[in-house]
Amino acid sequence: MCLNFQSSIKIEKKIIMVNYEKELADYGKNGFAVIDNFLTPEEVKMLMDEAKSLIDNLDLSEHRLCAIPGSPQQTTDYYFASAGKANFFFEPKAFDGEGNLILPREKCVMKLGHGLHLGNKTFGSIGHTDRVRAIMKGIGYVEPAIVQGMLIFKHPRVGSEVTPHKDTEFLFSEPVDKVCALWIALTDVVRENGCLEVIPGSHVDSAHRRYIRTDDETGSRAEFNGPVKEYEDSAFVPVLVPKGSCLVFDGKLVHRSKSNLSDKPRPAYVIHFTDEHETKWSPDCWLQLSKPFPRVNG
């Protein structure tokens, strides 16, 4: 079984009265939905051009230290600091043991995050459109706020596997989890280049573990408070997402992606949201900002 959603919505240069009621009709049951043509071709090109510029201007001397073995605290600090800005995270095979780049520059970065929406106006603007507000309204979010923004590259022959998980293992609110993701395809995403695979309906169960942050006089660190959960391979369904389209999914939905073994890239811009209506962000979550999360309606 393979899911490939098509939408009747056509994106014009000016969008009037956006409504995704039809596309989101089964979101509550399945935990995900695909909205076709969420971005215009011009917007996709704008994001890809900006991504290329960021990689071309990457100062490897500033960021490579986090990839050198033997400095776990430095790596942790770099990771935590990415909550409020766009840090570069490299493919496991990007550097040798001495920090020398051994992959081509254009293929060395695995992702750019986790505060890409905060420090970059081009990417940040996507989360504040009428289209996003329509999605938030359609899934029942009352006071949506952006908690995370990242660009995932998944380069050809390089992009690594993402093991099964729920996003609420890493991002969570109290007293209940209200987290969702907008996963925007910047190219045609198919099986060959590592599309997301999901377990429909798995969002009805809460995350079985959390990535818990601890801060004390010795520094900051985070670790899981439970073991990895195993899932039946046959339960996963691949979701094909056309270029410019958007996969919306609940933070409790189990998903994964296989390595990109093709010659095709698989870049995606991913924005995570929380609903601050009658909830608060957990102080145990690794991702913490010194200021409020930006509201979608603000």
pLDDT digits (tens, 9 = 90+) for 89-143: 888 888 887 777 888 888 889 999 999 999 899 999 999 999 999 999 999 999 9
Q: Please report, to the nearest 10 degrees, the dihedral formed by the alpha carbons of residues 144, 146, 148, 154 taken in order.
A: 80
Q: What angle do CA 68, 74, 78 make, to 5 degrees?
A: 100
- pTM (global) more than 0.85: yes
pLDDT of res. 14: 47
60 pLDDT band (50/70/90 cuts)?
confident
291 belongs to a structural domain: no
What was the pLDDT predicted at 11? 39
Rounded to the nearest angstrom, the gap between the alpha carbon of residue 171 and the centroid of all alpha carbons in its chain is: 11
Is position 134 within any domain?
yes
Residue 290 lies in a domain: no
Number of domains, the chain: 1
- Percent over 90 (pLDDT), the chain: 77
Is 4 a domain residue? no
Higher per-residue confidence, 172 vs 102: 172
**Any domain includes 15:** no
**pLDDT for 177 beyond 50:** yes
pLDDT over threshold 70, residue 88: yes
Binned at pLDDT 50, 70 and 90, residue 5 comes out as very low
| Selected residue with higher pLDDT from 74 and 133 | 133
Q: Is residue 259 part of a domain?
A: yes
The parent domain of residue 101 ranges over 21-281
DSSP-assigned letter for residue 183? E
The Cα 209–Cα 4 span in angstroms is: 31
Q: What CATH number does the domain containing 209 carry?
A: 2.60.120.620
